[in-house]
Amino acid sequence: MKTVLILGATGSVGANITRNLARRGWNIRALHRNPQAAAEQFKDLPDIDWRRGDMHQPGDATAAAQGCDVIVNATNPPGYRHWREIGLPMHKEAIAAAKANGATLVFPANVYNYAPDSGENIAETAAQQPVTEKGRVRVEMEQMLREAADEGVQVILVRAGDFFGPGADSSVLNLLIKPGRRITKMAYFGPMNVKHAYAYLPDLAETFARLIERREQLPNYADFQFAGQVISGAELAQQVRNVSGEPAMKAGGFPWWLVHLVAPFNLTFKGLLEMRYLWNKPITLNNAKLVAELGEEPRTPMHQALTQSLDSLGCLPRPQQVQVD
């Protein structure tokens, strides 16, 4: 049976890939410091093989990966911070596990590698000239993957924009609106006329799954770009109005003044401020290579994707229960 080790299974990206591969009949193994607590998130998938371990402990990932065909490294430092101190060591452990076990290593990449003026329709071969510390770390991580591929490790990398979707507690939507209540206003990070790339997580997970199952046809270093949903702030606001049934919803600027005030004392807000440039100019991805490989990019209509996402955030009206006497 095909076996995959998911690192970061309880995160938004990892959870979606886990569920997709489970539906396809994969044997799912996952590493977590507290397997019992992690399993609570996957009560519908009782057959997950949870292994106790810590990505910060050398060798734990390698031991967990024994007998695995694929390793998905969907780990991320908590709270949008400490990428160099925490993210890089975890990344090294994932690479070591793939090397030791002859497994394909799968990695979700983002657009932090690109400069503010990189423009639209960026190809895989575009220059990576990051202007932030997070971007520099991500470039280093990808360089490590290229070196691993040169040493015989197969790598599948998919780059995507800002993710959103059901169960994504740290997605961009959680910052633009207030979860758990009617949507009467939406705060947007940048100019309302600038287009932005969004990745609906079930579509992204489906993309990873299709590539994983085609891994024998792929080169040692297989990098792809996921275009996703590309819309402006004004278009997103109108979509949210339509989905939520709130035609009077107001859309305006994000309170960056507050972020500036809090950033010196909060590393998460400091990181958010550092990445603000991504919203001021369009940075979108060319998916021609992905489409050539798969025949299409999995794409859920935006209206449907937003409906499922906002419903999971508790922002859509619930059907009234009819009492029967």
- pLDDT of 239-255, one tens digit each? 999 999 999 999 999 88
Q: What is the pLDDT of residue 275?
A: 86
Task: List C-alpha distances in Å: 171 to 174, 175, 310.
Answer: 6, 8, 11
Report which of residues 1 and 195 the model is more confident about. Answer: 195
Q: What is the pLDDT of residue 319?
A: 60
What DSSP character marks residue 86?
I
Q: Report, at the CATH architecture level, how domain 3-164+197-230+282-299 is classified.
A: 3-Layer(aba) Sandwich (3.40)
What are the structural domain ranges in the chain? 3-164+197-230+282-299
> At residue 317, does pLDDT exceed 80?
yes
Tokens of 28: 């799912």
| pLDDT, tens digit, 9 for 90 and up, residues 120-149 | 999 999 999 999 999 999 999 999 999 999
Q: What is the pLDDT of residue 172?
A: 85
Mean pLDDT over all residues of the chain?
A: 93
Q: What is the pLDDT of residue 322?
A: 40
Q: Residue 40: exposed, middle, or buried by beta-carbon count in 10 A (0-12, 13-18, 19+)?
A: exposed
Q: Assess contact for 142 and 105: CB atoms under 8 A.
A: no
In this structure, what are the phi and psi dihedrals at residue 302, rounded to the nearest 5 degrees? Answer: -55, -40
Q: Assess contact for 277 and 271: CB atoms under 8 A.
A: no
What residues have CB less than 8 Å from 296, skipping those under 6 apart?
none
Classify strands 27-32 and 195-200 as parallel, antiparallel or unpaired.
unpaired
Q: What is the pLDDT of residue 324?
A: 47
What DSSP character marks residue 313?
T
> At residue 268, does pLDDT exceed 80?
no
Q: Assess contact for 270 and 256: CB atoms under 8 A.
A: no
Task: List C-alpha distances in Å: 119 to 68, 192, 279.
Answer: 39, 17, 12
